[in-house]
Chains A and B, each alone.
Chain A
Amino acid sequence: MRPLRSLARGLHALTRRRDADQDISDEVRHYLDLTAAAHERCGLSPEAARRAAQLELGNTTVVEERVRSFGWENVVETLFADLRYGLRWLRSNPGFTAVSAITLALGIGATTAIFSAVNPILFEPLPYPHPERIVGIRYAFNEAGAGEQSFGTFREVAVRSHSFDAIAVMKAWQPTMTGPTEPERFDGQRVSAEYFRVLGVHPGIGREFDPADDRPNGANVVIISDGLWRRRLHGDSGIVGHQIRLDDALYTVLGVMPAGFNSVVAPTAEVWSLLQYDPSLPADGREWGHHLQMFARLRAGVSIEQASHDLDAIAHTPVPEFRRPPYASMQHGLPMTSLQRQITSGVRPALLGVLGAVFLVLIIAAVNVTNLLLARGAQRRGEFAMRVALGAGRTRLTRQLLTESVLLAVIGGVLGVAVAAVGVRALIALSPSDLPRLDAIGVHGTVFVFALVATTLIGLAVGVVPALQASRHDLQATLQHSSRRSSRQGTRRVLVIAEVSLALVLLAGAGLLLRSLERLFSIAPGFKSSQLLVMQVQATGRRLDDAGTNRFFADALDAVRRVPGVESAAFTSELPLSGEGQTERYAVRFENDATPADAPPAWRYGVSPGYIETMGIPLIQGRTFDRGDLTQVASRPVLISESLAKRKFPGQNALGQRLRMGGAADRPWDVIVGVVGDVRQLSLATPQAEAVYATTAQWMWADRAQWLIVRAHGSPASLTAAVRNAVWSVDKDEPVVHAMPMDAMVALSEAQRRFVLIVFEAFAIVALALAATGIYGVMSGSVTERIREIGVRSALGATRGSILGLIVRQGMTLTIIGAIVGLFGAAAASRALITLLYGITHLDVVTYVGVTGVLLAVSAAACWLPAWRAARVDPAITLRAE
């Protein structure tokens, strides 16, 4: 009843203010009249009675105001008045409004865009039920390094562990769908049967995998994504139980995943089929290759620590039922982390760095606008004084100014969300392709809340200093004319110093990243990337047998070599820096090993003869492959990398030594026939280069996806179409993907660093521009306020040069203080970037000197204009103005 009544009365007063006011003044007048009448009855004359009544009541207007000011509607009304006034003021200062709003829009927009990208990756839980229970389990090769699992280890863990509701392994799979329409290659995964139970998502239509099918020659079954189902199969729910053609084999569709389902471990995957590895674990199959990702869902109530103990116990107590080859002995354990951590750990430093950078930009933007507001405040002194004289209290004035700044921030915020929407698209376009959870990035929900909160806080933050200053100083406004200047200018100077120092922190970050990238790209990758064209060719279906696959690649190679402009060409199962590393590593055993060590595995390159030459990898010792190495032999010739040779055979001849890579314990040893230079496989920054090369033709199985590398006489890109057609002239149904010059592939391998660098550079430029504007603004203000002094100086004979120097010196003093503070800040803040740096420390002197130089140059330019104006002051005019 009461709140309702209050609401109704308030609304009435708001909507019909005039009536409400009339009522109040009627009531007061009536009271006055009755008081006067009473006095008259006591014998006073009408005039005296009136006077006495008025005396008793006090000022009628004040009483009316007191009555009127009761009620919530007054707060709303003042707010509206403040808003109206604020809007009018902003409209009458279009230049100021535009500059401030755009500055804030850039700050809020950039922050919102970055937040929208970082939030789903780092902070939001994964989009599955109880995501905290999903963990990734890796195989530790030694104390420092961990990586992919073998199927054999998975089998043992799956049977022996008691901590998991479900556990699965998976690998990438890229089947091609053939059928009535043109062939399309999909990203997919080969998974073990419990895959979807680990994620906790079930097919929307149909059913999950049956563990009974997960064996060699089991039924060909597939589960497809909602997107694929709608795109290629017309969203026909009758598809379940029917067959589709993948890689020339028929697969029965078991189910369709619900719309919106996305596998964070393989975001682009649209088809899932079973691994169908051999549970009897033959020693010479892929079952023991470290190439599978393993993850699991913890049992409810089991913590990661408990599950880790369980896994440790399994790893350190082998049982006879589970034979372990030396390269899968688990002696270093099975490290486990939450899946969220595992998939984001690679990008976490980069994203946190970018997030930090954008907050700096936001702060600089806010400081800049604060400065603008302060400058405006100086010009509005007269207005404030007038308002105080008319009875505005200090809080009232503060509120008015805060309303204005929040209003400004809201305009900036609205523009900022638009900036963010564009920015997010740019970010996604720029972002390295391995960024997880790209699909979840966008401007919605949480992001809007973030933008709203940021806007409000910024509005209050930028307004509070100017508002307090204005309301404080206006009390003494008319009294002290000159002392006011120093304090107001003082605040502005401190703010400019802050801006300069923050800008330097960003500049230093950008500089460090730039130098790192320069260093990285100056690293010799171990091969000659110029004039190389690469593309991935896949042998699908039809020739499922190994001989057919090898024949296809051999024929394709012959066809490619005949293309005019091709100098040489070769195939390899693994392309350095292609981002597909980590999948094919095998433990290497040497004949001279005293004990079968659990050594870190080496890369396996299945290559065609001519690969070493075409890539331009230097031959250190021995020979490379030739056509004679295309036939199956018992004891295979292999090449090893220089680093492997140096580690295993220091000071000895590696040639003729024998080794075994994977495979059965009783298969013949392979013979080292050559030593070749080290190649960077994972990234330019990772020197891990132990490798073994064998020809694909002599390997235990045929690699179905291989990289074609072509050395061109001229520009490699121009050969793309011709080379692709040559491959298709052999078989037009085989997909050819990822065609690009090797130089582009190398650049792509550093996409993450490059991404952070671009973001930092953009932010540093914005920060520098804002800081320069800040310096310019303060120096302009200072010149205006000192115009009389400057006039006197030049009247007393100061030269233009000396006045110019005076002002520039003043500005540069601010800059230098800011730069010193900034250098300390940068030294501390750049710690966050350490993992992204390469070849330099985060305290790289060259970078710091360089960016300080840039900053000083830009701020000198910013000081120049006001200084120039000061130098041209005509003493006669300024002195006469007094």
Chain B
Amino acid sequence: MKDTQRQGAVRPYDLRSPRVKIGFALMTIFCVFAVLMALLPVAWVILSGLKDLKEFNRGVKGLDNHYHQQLLPAVFTLDGYLDTWNQMKYVRYYLNSFAVAAGSVLCAVLFNGLLAYGLSRLKPRGWKIVYGLIMGTLMVPATTAIVPLFINITQLSMGGTFWPLWLSAGASAFYVVLFKNFYDTMPDSLLEAARLDGCDNWRLFFKIVLPLSMPINIVIMIYAINAAWSDFLLPYLVLSGTKLETVMVRLFTYRTSDRINNMDIIRAIVFSIIPPIVLFIAFQRQLTQNVISAGIKG
């Protein structure tokens, strides 16, 4: 490693002292421990899903003829996962969750983007009041609104449809702030040139602002997909008991159900974790770097 990359409190020449060396070693142990703590629970649940019910509940018969619990499954086979997948009809819940995520992404980028564009570039008289209201909602707990919102949705007969879930992604103060911060840094000259060419606000947004904002668009898209996939309270209230239940709503119903055995719940947990993990692996860099810098600015 180059010296220029070490710009923290500890400098290479500090490491000549044995005390610092020991401290440094302890620090590395701490970091490795943190990594293990982060990864092992997830690894445990995935491996447990490979066991069959008897093995999970009782353990494996050892040489002493007693049953022992083992962390690793006795046989590595995906049959258990396939059984649960088919029996619990997970294809449907996956498709439902994907549908919720797709619509949410669209709404999140479109509506929050347009609103932020207005607040950042157009600034009509009174925009500060609206911006204040949006910032204010960051302070009020989101859950305050859930009961009346549920009542409104029911009275508008939007229960049992994806619409409330899709559209609710279009009202996120956090996304508006992220978009606005990004648009604030866009050079005026580009927008002015397009305006002189006769673009109105809408064309300006769709032809210029949106395509030029890919970094923030991607960040918001990842956030929105993850939020839509993970969200459970509103989907539970809106979709519970219908054919449109998402993966998370299904998982929640296992909270109290006695008819579902441990293995099916364990595998349901894994099914609900896999897509976010795939998303995470695919967009690791954006998630651990871009998101952060966007967040800091806000």
Partners in one complex: no
